[in-house]
Amino acid sequence: MLQWIGIGLGSALGGMGRYAVGGWVGQRAGEGFPWGTLVVNASGSLLIGLVFVACGSEGRFRLEPGWRDFVMLGLLGGYTTFSSFSLQTLHLAREGQWGWAAGYVALSLAACLGGVMLGFAAGQLLGRVH
């Protein structure tokens, strides 16, 4: 149960971090392009890679599994799930499974764009006031 609480707390903090960083970047770079989201996704991907290696079982800054879950699943998962996607893609590529890695990227992009388009359309239909 304590693990769930840690992941939940990390997710809340990560979500607040995403809001803060995305807003800060958006205010400075303008809202014409989603620079805030790009910075959040890129920085989250960088951080999960760093934590995965440096804080892993053979890393210099080893973290106990509960703390790794708090940071990786909670904090960074709440900050951006793109970090998990990136780490999983890297894992497939490092294992030499290039076809699976490319397929995962293509399928994720298609599924996520398709999902957001369907959700947008459903929201328009359901959200209309008649």
Range of the domain at 102: 96-130
* pTM, 2 dp: 0.76
Split at pLDDT 50, 70, 90, the class of 43 is very high
Write down the H helix ranges in 1-130.
Answer: 2-29, 35-54, 65-68, 76-79, 82-94, 98-127
The answer to whether the beta carbons of residues 79 and 14 sit under 8 Å apart is yes
**Overall number of domains in the chain:** 2
Tokens linked to 122 = 């459903």
Segment 58-109, tens digit of pLDDT: 888 889 999 999 999 999 999 997 887 898 899 999 999 999 999 999 998 9
What percent of the chain is predicted at pLDDT more than 70? 97
Same domain? 61 vs 113: no
Res. 130: pLDDT tops 80: no
Same domain? 72 vs 123: no
